[in-house]
Amino acid sequence: MFADVFCNRSVWLSGHTGFKGAWLAEWLFECGATVYGFALPPNTKPALFEQLGLLERVRHEINDVRDAAAVQRSIQQAQPDFVFHLAAQPLVRLSYAEPVSTYATNVMGTVHVLDALRSLKKPCAAIFVTTDKCYENREWIYGYREDDVLGGYDPYSSSKAAAEIVIAAYRRSFFQNHPVRIASARAGNVIGGGDWATDRIVPDCIRALQAGMPIPVRKKTAIRPWQHVLEPLSGYLWLAALLAQPSTIDSQLCSAFNFGPTHEANRTVTELLQEILKHWPGRWEDKSDPNAVHEAGLLQLSIDKAHTLLRWKPVWDFPTAVEQTVCWYRNPSRELSVRQINQYVTAASRLGLPWA
């Protein structure tokens, strides 16, 4: 299905040098798309962007979404049929150290992409990716719905809430009768091969396991909606595909959507560690710090809207997501990445999902 939608189409993808962006670029290539990448250089060693050999295949531009003129030029040059805006400062703890650049990237970077799309004169489906942390987190047991109150304790979370407000305002103000159609996507905690970021639990696990050291754990009781990276990416692609078609539910599609796992995948960090260690034996140690900066203890998403309007739902359960993730780190390669995409699509087809 995605090959029918994206083959020989122009896609502008910001953040293609990051973890999720590199996976999305690879999937788009498998669909036959022409990908215009716009991002800062990879900021990890190793970097999935380089491991997948994307430099030779993307129409690659190193630039910064904080540069409004550069964003405008790039989008005008690409004349995209689809836009996926993933470029961001994505780390909670780094946002405490660098709040100004976090807001500049996550809020004004979003403004710059939106404003550049105003001058596009052709039909285009644009997906703006934020986060599950954009909600005012009350640490309750219920999954947050798209119309719940936005907020955020820390600079990262609040910057993403502010970006959601900006997206909604631009959509109402400038895109009601415009060929560009806009939606936003809020994903849960993503795991998968090729994430090498600092201060994320899975990369921290892999680095420790590779070194034969105990895994340092900051908050073992924190509960998150863990999902494999291919889950939200399938949601972004399917939402974009539907936006690109005339539809009787346009006003509902041009809105915010949660893409998260089923309730059973809302697990503690300890449970995630136990599942990882089934596939790569090792040990972990509690490094909790009572004086550490605030991080949410409980966060869950409701995906009822995506299920009802998009007929989207998760494909891989929690054990499968962890197994596929550890498998990739033990044998990292582009070939394995493509094989996992194909395995995921096959599993979605067996579930009868409309995009598979």
The pLDDT assigned to 87 comes to 98
Q: Which residue has the tokens 């539910």?
A: 249
Instruction: Indicate the CATH number of 2-350 among 1.10.443.10, 3.40.640.10, 2.40.30.10, 3.40.50.720.
Output: 3.40.50.720
DSSP 206-260: HHHHHHT-PEEES-TT-EEE-EETHHHHHHHHHHHHHHTS--TTHHHHSSEEEE-
CB-based contact 230:261 (threshold 8 Å): no
Burial category of 49 from C-beta neighbours within 10 Å (exposed 0-12, middle 13-18, buried 19 and up):
buried
pTM to 2 decimal places: 0.96
- Phi-psi region at 332: left, alpha or beta (left = phi > 0; alpha = psi -120 to 50): beta
Residues 6+ apart with CB under 8 A from 63: 38, 39, 40, 70, 71, 74
Residues with Cβ within 8 Å of 104's Cβ and at least 6 positions away in sequence, in order, are 66
Give the Cα separation of 233 and 245 in Å (integer). Answer: 19
Rounded CA gap, 42 and 186, in Å? 23
317, 226 contact by CB (below 8 A)? no
SS3 144: strand
CA-to-CA dists, residue 91 to 1, 160, 219, 271, 347, angstroms: 33, 11, 16, 22, 31
12: Cα separation from own chain's centroid: 15
Instruction: Give the dihedral of Cα atoms 86, 15, 346, 342; nearest 10 deg.
Output: 180
* Structure tokens belonging to residue 167: 């997206």
Query: Mind listing the pLDDT tens digit for each residue in 162-207?
Result: 999 999 999 999 999 999 999 999 997 899 999 999 889 999 999 9
Strand order of the β-sheet with 256-259 is 59-62, 34-39, 10-14, 82-85, 124-129, 180-187, 256-259
Domain boundaries, the chain: 2-350
Separation CA 319–CA 28 (nearest Å) = 26
> Rounded to an integer, what distance in angstroms lies between the CA atom of residue 37 and that of residue 63?
10
- CB count in 10 Å sphere of residue 286: 11
Alpha carbon distance 223, 189 (integer Å): 10
- pLDDT score recorded for residue 11: 98
pLDDT of residue 247: 65
Low-confidence ranges of the chain (pLDDT < 70): 247-250, 289-297
Condensed to tens digits (0 to 9), the pLDDT of residues 9-52 reads 999 999 999 999 999 999 999 999 999 999 999 999 999 999 99
- From the list 90, 86, 139, 144, the residue with the least C-alpha distance to 110 is 86
